[in-house]
Structure 1
Amino acid sequence: MSQTSSSPVVRALAAVLGVVIAVAGLVLAVGGVRLLTLGGSAYFVLMGVAMLASGVLLVRRRPAGVTLYLLALLATAVWAVFDAGWHFWPLVSRLAMPLGFGLLALLVLPTLKAAQGGGGGRGAYAGAALLALVFVAGFVHAFRVEPVVAPTSEPAVMPVAAGKAQKNWESWGNTTAGTRFAALDQINKQNVGQLQVAWTAHTGDVPDSNGFGAEDQDTPLQIGDTLYICTAHNRVVALDADSGATRWSYDSKATAPNWQRCRGLGYYADADNGSATRDAECAQRILMTTVDARLIALDAKSGKPCTDFGDAGTVDLKAGMGEVKPGFYTLTAAPLVAGDLIVVGGRVADNIEVNEPSGVVRAFDVHSGKLVWAWDLSKEKPDTPLDPNINYTRATPNVWTSMAYDAKLGLIYLPTGNTTPDQWGGERTPQDDKYNSAVVALDVKTGTERWLFQTVRHDLWDYDLPAQPALIDLPDGTPALAQVTKAGQIFLLNRQTGEPITKVEDIPAPQGNASGERYAKTQPVSTGLPQIGTERLTESDMWGATPFDQLACRIQFKQMRYDGLFTPPGEDMALQWPGSLGGMNWGSVAYDPTNHYLFVNDMRLGLWTRLIPRAQMQSGAGGVEMGAASQTGTPYGSLRNRFLSPLGIPCQKPPYGTMSAVDLTTGKLAWQVPVGTVEDTGPLGIKMHMGIPIGMPTLGPSLATQSGLLFFAGTQDYYLRAFDSGSGREVWKARLPVGSQGGPMTYVSPKTGRQYIVVTAGGARQSPDRGDYVVAYALPKPN
């Protein structure tokens, strides 16, 4: 017996390993018994018992402890493949830690055998080396991007035709069609790798990192040689398009107790009838809505309020609304400029109480600020002019996100939300149920309803339509509208009639158990186009960084009521998948008309909900995305939170966010890739500082260009990325100073002819790092 092999230190390490394995086995066994009683997998009980026995034998320095563990490891590998298939991240969750214990067990095996007068070290070390190679291979593979759907072909890139290049970025979605497509190709797939920072500007408004306080979510406008930025606190900054130098700034002094953000501005220019008109004061106007419910018009050249608009440049949007408590009515979406009208909706605080402010949509004259029409859901016809003695109907479905406009058809398209509160609908009126979670087309001149298409009936999930509709023309010339939803659906409608172009089916809807509630018998789903991240969850879909949090997620899953999509809330704990954040959210889509690809980014976060009887619920809570919500005035309050493991990781398997390309000529996914890494986030919020592309929740808009590129920054790591829009391959990325929720946009300077890609960076969602950056990228200047 060698001195090394019988070393007390090595034997002590073997005993420590035995204790660790035994304790781990005990935890798995106890948790496994709980899972088994809920009807779950028996694996965790069996593995826990095996590990407990193996650990005890190791503590007693018996080589049989290693043998027993290796047999259990082999059984685990077989079970893992049977349970998860040959998929990398699910296998990592099931095998990484057991393989680590196995490697350590093999390393101590020679010592245990030597202590009993035996040999066999070479075979054990060879086995340990093999497991180490598996670990190294797995670690290297973790940094590779694995497409969820790989491309089978790539469309050709069409050059921009002469005279067809984009001149300005005048609306939040580039145009009022909201396609976020730029007919520009100076920056292309061949040279995108040469992009570098051209300039960096600061707005002077750093959004705080208080969970639901201020967040930068802006997409800049570009008119000629000037960029226009709005900040979370409703400041407007005009920047030189080539240098980023500040030309003017305006501070609205807007205040709100929560939810401070400005996603974009509106722009209007008088008809060009000569230099006198073009140079007149406020001939070009920047329009902004504020978080304290004002509509402001500014001169685009000077930043001064337009004195002919409203009251010295401001219209009070609380007029006609009745009582508006602070924070109960805010405007965060860019105003829609439709001809000579400015159309605005408004965000109503969620879930605090009934009888909250109205969800009315209003149109104002762009020159005078006078009300032209109001779409009030209780009125058969628009109430014009508003009787000063009559307030708008309270607590109607609202339009908190961006709208779209088709000038040729003369229609405005509204994506509606819900009558608050979200998780209870027992008191909703027939009008509420008719208009919630629907696309509504209105006549631009009168506000008269032309058609309606509802995406969720009697919505109890906060599945309100979060995104601007994208107005697109199909290859056969059909005028279409693409609407994405929080429920992971993509509806393609004829925007002239509202009729579905691709197949929509009614499916039987799960029924709930809350006393006094009513439930829709069926719900519409879009089966003619891909559904993004809506696969029905099973116990095998549960995931974790370790078997322990995977086990905890399995127990949670089996404890909850889950009947698939549209599982309604009740007094028990119910699982909602996708959660109320989506699916898809306010970033909407981008659309490339040259290859008819629709680009969709999503987040995959489930949540659990529970209705709390009124006697057990305090009033006044709510208005945020998660936690307790009082729902005062109803029989129930509510409680909801994200479906996470004890380490704060989503309980279902990755990816947690993807970018998808939908080919509208075939109705199929052209490709789908995970987006975002854990470099700037991780378990318990600890940054992992590793660019592992697991695919993280996304939040923000994308940008498609005619050169075959797709830009996106709304990830939890701090990067602006460019993808090959034909294949989904990442072809370039640049590190941002902080994360971004802003929308990338692009333009060619009329002075220098350089194409720029610009994005704001104020901080990623859930990140404490904040800034006030505007960053422009361009190709190197010619020598």
Structure 2
Amino acid sequence: MKNVKQEAPASKGRHLILGIFGILLALSGLFLAVAGTRLITLGGSWYYLLAGLGMLGSGVLYIRRKPAATGIMALVMVATVAWALWEVGFTFWPMVPRLAPFLVIGLLASLLHPWLTQGRQRAASYTGSAVFAALLAVGATALFTPHGVLEGKPLPVAQPGTDIPQEQVADWSHYGSNPAGTRYSALDQITKDNVNQLQVAWTYRTGEIAEGASEYQNTPIQVGNTVYTCTPTSKVIALDADSGEQRWMFDPKPHNIKTWNRCRGVSYYEPAKVEHPLVFTDLKPAAPAQAGVCARRIVQVTMDARLLEIDAQTGKPCEDFGDKGAVDLTQGLGKVMENVPYYAYTSAPTVSRNLIILGGWVFDGRSTDEPSGVVRAFSADTGELVWAWDLGNPAITKLPPEGQTYTRSTPNMWSSPAFDDELGLVYLPTGNQQPDFWGGARPELTEKYSSAVVALDMATGRERWTFQTAHHDIWDYDVASQPALYDVPDGKGGKIPALIQLTKRGQIFMLDRRTGQPIADVIEKPVPQAHAAGDWVAKTQPYSVGMPTFGAQPLTEKDMWGATFFDQLMCRIDFKKLNYHGEFTAPSTEDTLIYPGYYGGFNWGGAAIDEKSGYLFVNDIRIPQVVKLVPRDNVDLSHLKSGHGVGSTYPMDGTPFVIDHKSFNSPLGIPCQSPPWGVFAAVDLKTRKQVWERPAGTVEDAVINGVRAKLPIPLGMPTLGGGAVTGSGIVFYAGTQDYYLRALDMATGKELWKGRLPVGGQATPMTYRSPETGRQYVVIVAGGARQSPDRGDYVIAYALPEKE
């Protein structure tokens, strides 16, 4: 009797644990069975219903303490492994939500099995427990290992670390380093062997935290011993290239800075160094220069649409430019909206010879009556308008006639052009025509310029050629990336002057920059033809089949993902409910999936090109969005939550609809499709083949539903800013969701070094060598990663330790 009394509490405890385990298993199975039934009604997989019924049955048997519970659970697990292999093979991240929950269940079931058999099969149970524990340990370790990595082969680097003569080192005097936008520097003081010694050389803080409507996306420029940067609200700052000390700050004090504040760069103009200035007989002559005054100029465009020139030496306005240093860019635009700015400029102005060439940013999705996307060129000496390219009225070549405006709501150019001085052409990446997601009222004349690359004669502003990357774009697939210019082999021992254009679609187009004709094959493919009332869709769309494509494969139910099988199942259900028939599924009155999403693919960060090897470096975003057209008559417009991007509604005044936006996320706030959600990659422009790929960053600093991950799991996150590449074979990247500047081996993609930043970055890094000390610096602006609560105002320069 004494032994029975001692054992009774233990037995009750075991029965309780078995009961709790059975209840949890049964409830989980019931959820999977019920939700799985819903998935079947939508035409989805039968697995979840069958697995749920098995788990439900096993859970009931655990409650009843029947040994058969383990056997049924084992059958479910074996079937799950077979199903997972059939759906996704051995790829790691798709396997995680399919198998990880069952590894945990298997471990617990193995530990509990002796309690079901009164101690029998104890050895087999503990062996099973050890196996499941080992698999969980291997899986946990694998979480911290990059997956889906394609590694390139090493390339020889000629004499790394040589001291390039100063006269051969170009300043980083353009947004993309040079007019071609390659983001390439020949500097090779920092090499693959010593890059791990990089340390912070100096840090400068602007005093303007990138909060609210602001994001700090600036790539500084460097001319001589000075670095020039700008803040989201258009302040311009000059810093000493070796110490980071402020030399001057100019604050243009813009008004209406409530909506979309960015300054991605400033530009530089030095009249005395223009070798072949364009001559315009109809312009007033430049005023005689005062000795030492505005001999070197910084060109800036403000968030309230003013074009400025500032003395690069003193930070004072150049009084001989425009009206005491400023030109009003709203001239000829008509209504621009005083309370909410519908026109601004977020990218660096383009200075070519003695011209300043500008497009403009317009507020997405507001109306069919928004400011014009006109592209204009101004004299860099006087600020006088030289030419205008009105996309809707080619007859307007300067200001519109009295009482008229430039054509309203035409496609705009909000990103950065590139230019070829020898050909005399400037290449414009254009946006899609407003209001983005419904195009039933768009004129035929402007349709050809939407989401295109357009070559204009630099001297006259007249069109030379146009290549469209998306026809009748109602998905906001505007061309965000600066074109990159590079000469590629023609296969006959010669070279073809090429233009490489990245797109939000993940397509890379390679064109002859003389004619706009594709060098790499482009074909037109049929696309879905359903569309919203009053709109239309193109019968075909262009696909660059001669170049690699990134993140653009159509999504399927099998691509749905989650942290567990619960949220994965919900993502599968949500996916099957969406209106989605591939990339060009038109927005409709149903929830419609857009993938690649309107953030990209490739966004404004653009490409980098190693000018020696011809390697192209890219980074992308793989985050789909869900949009829904809502008939205007069903909306209380006075309570409309109007904004920009995900989580907002675009009013689209002048159309039959407003449009809602949201992310395609699981109930846990995680993207519904399988990782990676962004990659770093390289393409060989000579062979037109992908060389390497690796996930872009980790979830270490990601905040999901208010919780910071704090784990450096390399899922591959969305990235914004692009790369910068050096002559020593290193490509530098920031722009990830974790707070690092990284150095990658240009040839293989291996990570050579990473430096921790105080907050995340969105900008493209740059590099230069000080003319005074000969020291090479790598500079990054860190103002906070997209979607991150941590914001800053940092300009940080890295360099090798100073030699004693």
Q: TM-score if structure 1 supplies the norm length?
A: 0.96
Partner AA of 2:131 in structure 1: L
The one-character-per-residue Cα deviations of 1:520-553 (angstroms, maximum 9, x if unpaired) are 0111110000111111211111111111111111
Kept in 2: contact 1:486–1:580 (CA 8 A):
yes
Alignment of 1:35-46 (within 5 A): 35-46=39-50
- Secondary structure in structure 2 of the residue aligned to 1:575: strand
Residue matched to 2:280 = none
| Distance in 1 separating the partners of 2:597 and 2:14 | 50
Kept in 1: contact 2:695–2:714 (CA 8 A):
yes
Alignment of 1:183-332 (within 5 A): 183-208=186-211, 210=212, 213-255=213-255, 256-271=257-272, 280-325=292-337, 326-332=340-346
CA 1:731–1:168 in 2, change beyond 3 Å: closer, same or farther?
A: same
Partner AA of 1:463 in structure 2: Y
Residue matched to 1:399 = 413
| Distance in 2 separating the partners of 1:60 and 1:164 | 85
Alignment of 1:178-577 (within 5 A): 178-208=181-211, 210=212, 213-255=213-255, 256-271=257-272, 280-325=292-337, 326-475=340-489, 476-577=494-595
CA 1:515–1:272 in 2, change beyond 3 Å: closer, same or farther?
A: closer
Kept in 2: contact 1:504–1:524 (CA 8 A):
yes
The one-character-per-residue Cα deviations of 1:260-280 (angstroms, maximum 9, x if unpaired) are 11000011112159xx98962
CA 1:279–1:597 in 2, change beyond 3 Å: closer, same or farther?
A: farther
Cα displacement (A) at 1:378: 2.2
Partner AA of 2:462 in structure 1: T
CA 1:747–1:68 in 2, change beyond 3 Å: closer, same or farther?
A: same
Cα displacement (A) at 1:449: 0.7
Residue matched to 2:133 = 132
| Distance in 2 separating the partners of 1:279 and 1:74 | 84
Q: TM-score if structure 2 supplies the norm length?
A: 0.94
Q: Which runs of 5+ in 2 are unaligned?
A: 275-287
- Secondary structure in structure 2 of the residue aligned to 1:474: strand
| Distance in 1 separating the partners of 2:65 and 2:173 | 75
| Distance in 2 separating the partners of 1:400 and 1:513 | 27
Cα displacement (A) at 1:566: 1.1
Q: Which moved more, 1:315-324 or 1:58-67?
A: 58-67
CA 1:232–1:701 in 2, change beyond 3 Å: closer, same or farther?
A: same
Q: Which moved more, 1:676-685 or 1:503-512?
A: 676-685
CA 1:408–1:278 in 2, change beyond 3 Å: closer, same or farther?
A: farther
CA 1:113–1:682 in 2, change beyond 3 Å: closer, same or farther?
A: farther
The one-character-per-residue Cα deviations of 1:729-783 (angstroms, maximum 9, x if unpaired) are 1110011000000111001111111101110100000001001111111111112
* Residue 699 of structure 1 pairs with residue 720 of structure 2: yes
Alignment of 1:706-725 (within 5 A): 706-725=727-746
Kept in 2: contact 1:220–1:227 (CA 8 A):
yes
Residue matched to 1:15 = 19
Q: Which moved more, 1:66-75 or 1:754-763?
A: 66-75
Cα displacement (A) at 1:5: 10
* Residue 764 of structure 1 pairs with residue 779 of structure 2: no
| Distance in 2 separating the partners of 1:725 and 1:618 | 54
Residue matched to 1:100 = 104
| Distance in 1 separating the partners of 2:354 and 2:273 | 14
Cα displacement (A) at 1:618: 4.1
CA 1:61–1:729 in 2, change beyond 3 Å: closer, same or farther?
A: same
Partner AA of 2:485 in structure 1: L
| Distance in 1 separating the partners of 2:398 and 2:558 | 57
| Distance in 2 separating the partners of 1:126 and 1:198 | 56
2:644 aligns with one of 616, 624, 649: 624
Partner AA of 2:528 in structure 1: P
Cα displacement (A) at 1:73: 1.3
Kept in 2: contact 1:465–1:485 (CA 8 A):
yes
Cα displacement (A) at 1:672: 1.1
Alignment of 1:101-180 (within 5 A): 101-114=105-118, 118-151=119-152, 153-159=153-159, 165-180=168-183
Kept in 1: contact 2:703–2:788 (CA 8 A):
no
The one-character-per-residue Cα deviations of 1:459-514 (angstroms, maximum 9, x if unpaired) are 11001101110011113321110001111110001111111110000001211132
Kept in 1: contact 2:531–2:537 (CA 8 A):
no
- Secondary structure in structure 2 of the residue aligned to 1:603: coil
Kept in 1: contact 2:358–2:375 (CA 8 A):
yes
CA 1:632–1:621 in 2, change beyond 3 Å: closer, same or farther?
A: farther
Alignment of 1:586-597 (within 5 A): 586-597=604-615
Alignment of 1:722-737 (within 5 A): 722-737=743-758
CA 1:508–1:272 in 2, change beyond 3 Å: closer, same or farther?
A: closer
Residue matched to 1:749 = 770
Cα displacement (A) at 1:111: 2.2
Kept in 2: contact 1:350–1:622 (CA 8 A):
no
Partner AA of 1:170 in structure 2: S
Residue matched to 2:711 = 690
Cα displacement (A) at 1:382: 4.5
Q: Which moved more, 1:380-389 or 1:46-55?
A: 380-389
| Distance in 1 separating the partners of 2:395 and 2:183 | 33
Give the aligned length: 775
Residue matched to 1:578 = 596
Cα displacement (A) at 1:381: 3.8
| Distance in 2 separating the partners of 1:63 and 1:183 | 71
- Secondary structure in structure 2 of the residue aligned to 1:641: strand
- Secondary structure in structure 2 of the residue aligned to 1:435: coil
Residue matched to 1:610 = 628
Partner AA of 2:240 in structure 1: D
| Distance in 1 separating the partners of 2:511 and 2:177 | 21
Cα displacement (A) at 1:165: 4.0
- Secondary structure in structure 2 of the residue aligned to 1:271: helix
CA 1:482–1:4 in 2, change beyond 3 Å: closer, same or farther?
A: farther
Kept in 2: contact 1:167–1:748 (CA 8 A):
no
Q: Which moved more, 1:469-478 or 1:38-47?
A: 469-478
Provide the alpha-carbon RMSD of the alignment. Answer: 1.9
Kept in 1: contact 2:364–2:434 (CA 8 A):
yes
| Distance in 1 separating the partners of 2:464 and 2:383 | 25
Kept in 2: contact 1:147–1:673 (CA 8 A):
yes
CA 1:148–1:622 in 2, change beyond 3 Å: closer, same or farther?
A: farther
| Distance in 1 separating the partners of 2:7 and 2:157 | 71
| Distance in 2 separating the partners of 1:685 and 1:598 | 37
| Distance in 2 separating the partners of 1:165 and 1:685 | 50
| Distance in 2 separating the partners of 1:469 and 1:362 | 18
Q: Which moved more, 1:647-656 or 1:713-722?
A: 647-656
Partner AA of 2:95 in structure 1: L
| Distance in 2 separating the partners of 1:500 and 1:445 | 25
Cα displacement (A) at 1:59: 2.1
The one-character-per-residue Cα deviations of 1:703-746 (angstroms, maximum 9, x if unpaired) are 11111101000000000001001011111001100000011100
